[in-house]
A and B are shown apart, each in its own frame.
Chain A
Amino acid sequence: MAGIDTTHMGAGTEEFTAEQLAKVDKIISKFKSKPGALIPVLEEVQDVCGYLPMSLQLRVAKGLGIPVANVYGVVTFYSFFTMVPRGKHVIRVCLGTACYVRGGQKILESLVGTLGIAPGECTADRNFSLETVRCLGACGLAPVVVIDEDTHGQMKPAKLDKVLAEYR
Chain B
Amino acid sequence: MAKVNVTIDNIKVSVEQGNTILEAAMLAGIKIPTLCAWPEINHRPGACRVCVVEVDGQRNLVASCVFPVSEGMVVKTTSERVRKARKLNVELLLSNHPTECNVCVRNGNCDLQVVAEAVGLREVRFTYPDYSTAEYIDDSSPSVVRDARKCIKCYRCVTVCDEIQTASVLSPTFRGDGVRIGPAFNLPLLETNCTNCGQCILACPVGALYEKDDTDKVWAALNDPSKHVVVQEAPAIRAALGEDLGMPVGSLVTGKMIEALRRLGFDKVFDTNFTADLTIIEEGNELLQRVKTGGKLPMITSCSPGWIKFCEHFYPDLLDNLSTCKSPQQMMGALIKTYYAEHSGVDAKDIVSVSIMPCTAKKFECQRDEMADSGFRDVDYVLTTRELSRMIKQAGIDFANLPEGDYDNPLGEYTGAGTIFGATGGVMEAALRTVYAVVTGTNLESLDVTPVRGLEGVKEAAVEVGPLGKVKVAVAHGLSNARQLMDKIRDGSADYAFIEVMCCPGGCVSGGGQPIAPSNEKRINRAAALYKDDGAVQKFRQSHENPSVKRIYEVFLKEPLGHKSHELLHTHYYKRGTDLPHAHDAEFEVNDAKNKATH
Interface residues of A (CB under 8 A from B): 1-4, 6, 9-10, 54, 57-58, 62, 67-73, 76-77
> Which of B148, B169, B179 has a CB less than 8 Å from the CB of A69?
B169
The answer to whether A6 and B186 have CB atoms under 8 Å apart is yes
- Determine which of A57, A58, A73 lies in contact with B171 in the assembled complex, contact meaning CB atoms within 8 Å: A73
Contacts of A58 in B (CB 8 A): 579-580
Known contacts A1-B148, A62-B578, A77-B174; is-contact A69 B183 (Cβ 8 Å): yes
* B96 and chain A: residue at smallest CB distance: A1
Task: Report how far A72 CA is from B135 CA in the complex, Å.
Answer: 19
Determine if B175 and A69 form an interchain contact, defined as CB atoms under 8 angstroms apart: no
- On whether the beta carbons of A2 and B178 are closer than 8 Å, the reply is yes
Q: Which residues of A contact B170 (CB under 8 A)?
A: 69
Total interface residues in chain B, CB < 8 Å: 25
Q: Are B184 and A72 in contact (CB under 8 A)?
A: yes
Pair A57/B174 contact, Cβ less than 8 Å: no
What CA separation (Å) do A57 and B247 show in the bound complex?
49
Chain A residue, CB-CB nearest to B180: A1
Give complex CA distance A9, B185 in Å: 7
| Residue in contact with A77 in the complex, picked from B169, B175, B581, CB distance below 8 Å | B175
Write out the residue numbers on chain A whose beta carbons fall within 8 Å of the beta carbon of B171: 67, 69-70, 72-73
Chain A residues with CB below 8 A from B172, complex form: 73, 77
Q: Give B127-145 as 1s and 0s: 1 = Cβ < 8 Å from A's Cβ atoms.
A: 0000100011000000000
Shortest 5 CB-CB distances between A and B: which pairs? Answer: A67-B168, A2-B178, A72-B184, A69-B171, A73-B171
Residues of B within 8 A of A10 (CB): 581
Docked-complex contact B184 and A69, CB < 8 angstroms: yes
Task: Decide: A57 near B184, CB < 8 A? Known: A68-B580, A77-B175.
Answer: yes
Residues of B within 8 Å of A54, CB to CB, are 185, 580
When chains A and B are docked, how far (Å) is the Cα of A76 from the Cα of B173? Answer: 6
Measured CB to CB, the nearest residue on chain A to B162 is: A67
**Contact of B178 with A1 in the complex, beta carbons under 8 Å:** yes
Could you show 27 A-B contacts with beta carbons less than 8 Å apart? A1-B131, A1-B148, A1-B174, A1-B180, A2-B174, A2-B180, A4-B174, A4-B185, A54-B185, A57-B185, A58-B579, A58-B580, A62-B578, A67-B168, A67-B171, A68-B578, A68-B580, A69-B169, A69-B183, A70-B171, A72-B171, A72-B173, A72-B184, A72-B185, A73-B172, A76-B173, A77-B175
**Contact between chains at A70 and B168 (CB < 8 Å):** yes
How far does the alpha carbon of A72 sit from the alpha carbon of B182 in the complex, in Å? 10
- Determine the chain B residues whose CB is within 8 A of the CB of A69 once the complex forms: 162, 168-171, 183-184
- Write out the residue numbers on chain B whose beta carbons fall within 8 Å of the beta carbon of A6: 185-186
The proximity string for B residues 168-211 relative to A, scoring 1 for CB distances below 8 Å and 0 otherwise, is 11111111011110011110000000000000000000000000
What are the residues of chain B within 8 A of A77 when measuring CB–CB?
A: 172-175
Find chain B residues with CB under 8 A from A67 CB: 162, 168, 171
List residues of B (15-40) whose CB comes within 8 Å of A's CBs.
none
Compute how far the CA of A162 lies from the CA of B496 in the bound complex, rounded to whole angstroms: 75
* Chain A residue contacts of B177, Cβ below 8 A: 1
Among residues of A, the one whose C-beta sits closest to the C-beta of B192 is A69
Contacts of B184 in A (CB 8 A): 57, 68-69, 71-73
A58 to chain B, nearest CB (A): 6
Q: How far is the CB of A54 from chain B (nearest CB, A)?
A: 5
Q: Which residue of B lies closest to A68 (CB)?
A: B184
Nearest residue (CB) in A for B129 is A1
Q: Distance in Å from the Cβ of A59 to the closest Cβ of chain B?
A: 10
Min distance, Cβ A120 to any Cβ of chain B, angstroms: 14
- CB-CB under 8 A from A76, the residues of chain B are 173-175
Contacts of A68 in B (CB 8 A): 184, 578, 580
Inside 8 A of B169's CB, which chain A residues have their CB? 69
Complex CA–CA separation, A71 to B525 (angstroms): 40
- What per-residue 1/0 map shows which CB atoms of B269-281 lie under 8 Å from chain A? 0000000000000
Taking A1-B178, A2-B178, A57-B184 as contacts, is the C-beta distance between A73 and B173 under 8 angstroms?
yes
Other CB < 8 Å A-B pairs besides A69-B168, A70-B168, 10 of them? A1-B136, A1-B148, A4-B186, A62-B578, A67-B171, A69-B162, A69-B171, A70-B171, A73-B184, A77-B173
Chain A residue numbers with a CB within 8 Å of B180 are 1-2
Complex Cα–Cα for A62 and B171 (A): 17
- Compute how far the CA of A76 lies from the CA of B176 in the bound complex, rounded to whole angstroms: 11
* A73 CB contacts on chain B under 8 angstroms: 171-173, 184
Q: Which residues of A contact B183 (CB under 8 A)?
A: 69
Tell me how far the C-beta of B126 lies from the nearest C-beta in chain A, rounded to whole angstroms. 15
Contacting residues, chain B, for A3 (C-beta < 8 A): 135
Q: How far is the CB of B186 from chain A (nearest CB, A)?
A: 5
Distance in angstroms between the alpha carbons of A3 and B180 in the assembled complex: 9
> Which residue of B has the minimal Cβ distance to A67?
B168
CA distance A6 to B183 in the complex (A): 14
**Whole-angstrom distance from the CB of A38 to the nearest CB of chain B?**
12
Return A77 CB to nearest CB of chain B, in Å: 5
Residue of chain B at shortest CB distance from A83: B185
How many Å lie between the Cα of A68 and that of B135 in the bound state? 22
Q: Report how far A69 CA is from B167 CA in the complex, Å.
A: 10
Instruction: Give bound CA distance, A77 to B175, whole Å.
Output: 5
Q: How far apart are the CA atoms of A54 and B191 in the complex, in Å?
A: 14
- The CA of A76 and the CA of B172, in the complex, are separated in Å by 9
Closest to A73 in B: B171
Q: In the assembled complex, how far is the CB of residue B487 from the closest CB belonging to chain A, in whole angstroms?
A: 12
Cα of A99 to Cα of B172 in the assembled complex, Å: 35
Tell me the residues in window 99-132 of chain B with beta carbons closer than 8 Å to chain A beta carbons.
131
- Chain A residues with Cβ below 8 Å from B186 are 4, 6
Residues of B within 8 A of A9 (CB): 185
Cα A70 to Cα B184 with chains together (Å): 8
Residue of A nearest to B183 (CB): A69
Docked pose: A53 CA to B173 CA in angstroms:
15
- Bound Cα distance A57, B135 (Å): 23
Contacts of A4 in B (CB 8 A): 174, 185-186
Residues of chain A lying within 8 A (CB to CB) of residue B136: 1
* Max count, chain B CB within 10 A of own CB: residue among A6, A70, A72: A72
Report chain B residues within 8 Å CB of A70. Answer: 168, 171
